């Protein structure tokens, strides 16, 4: 095993399943030879997600709430099962998230609720307002991240390749 592969393995272990402090330390101490693109994206994703959740949390929101509101606004009438599949979480987790948003009046059933059936959902005016505020927070975090269009495009291209595999 080469020194680079040992360093890469150490970095991978420090990034996957680590606390924010451990991820920050791994990213700061990693040599360019040890930091692969995949590991860098995992570490950066962890840090950006935490920062977004902290900033969104100031108004009682989370990245998951933002995602649900965005999807419901973009495609009114989606069911909880469709949302869960689209976002990539379990139906149970989606159920919890949707009920949090329903309780806050940010989304509502698009039709009558029936026992045992999942109703289609739509965003409320308050939900649209909260979504716009959350997107402003995302824009602030985006300024901190400060990726140029070329880098952002490369990351999105990688996401498409991963999704197609």
Instruction: Report the pLDDT averaged over residues 134-152.
Output: 95
Distance, in Å, from the CA atom of 64 to the CA atom of 85, rounded to the nearest integer, reads 13
Q: What are the sequence ranges of the domains in the chain?
A: 1-52, 59-165
Question: Helix, strand, coil: what percent of the chain each, to 5?
Answer: 70, 5, 25
Q: Which pLDDT score is estimated for 79?
A: 84
CATH topology of domain 59-165: Arc Repressor Mutant, subunit A (1.10.10)
Q: Alpha-carbon Rg of the chain, whole angstroms?
A: 19
pLDDT digits (tens, 9 = 90+) for 72-131: 999 988 888 889 999 999 999 999 999 999 999 999 988 765 555 567 899 999 999 999
Average pLDDT over residues 7-27: 57
Phi-psi region of 77 (alpha: psi -120 to 50; beta: other; left: phi over 0): left
Is this prediction's pTM over 0.85? no
150: confidence class by pLDDT, cuts 50, 70, 90: very high
Q: Which runs of consecutive H residues, i.e. helices, occur in 75-148?
A: 80-87, 91-103, 125-145
């Amino acid at each position: 095993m080469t020194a680079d592969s040992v360093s890469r393995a150490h970095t991978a272990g420090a990034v996957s399943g680590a606390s924010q402090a451990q991820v920050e330390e791994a990213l700061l101490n990693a040599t360019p030879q040890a930091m692969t693109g995949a590991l860098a994206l995992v570490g950066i994703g962890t840090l950006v997600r935490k920062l977004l959740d902290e900033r969104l949390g100031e108004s009682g929101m989370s990245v998951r709430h933002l995602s649900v509101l965005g999807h419901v606004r973009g495609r009114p009438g989606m069911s909880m099962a469709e949302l869960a599949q689209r976002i990539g979480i379990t139906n149970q987790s989606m159920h919890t998230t949707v009920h949090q948003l329903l309780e806050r009046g940010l989304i509502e059933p698009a039709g009558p609720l029936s026992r045992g059936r999942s109703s289609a959902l739509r965003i409320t005016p308050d939900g649209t307002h909260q979504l716009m505020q959350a997107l402003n927070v995302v824009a602030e975090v985006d300024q901190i991240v400060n990726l140029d269009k070329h880098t952002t495009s490369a990351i999105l291209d990688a996401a498409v390749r991963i999704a197609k595999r």
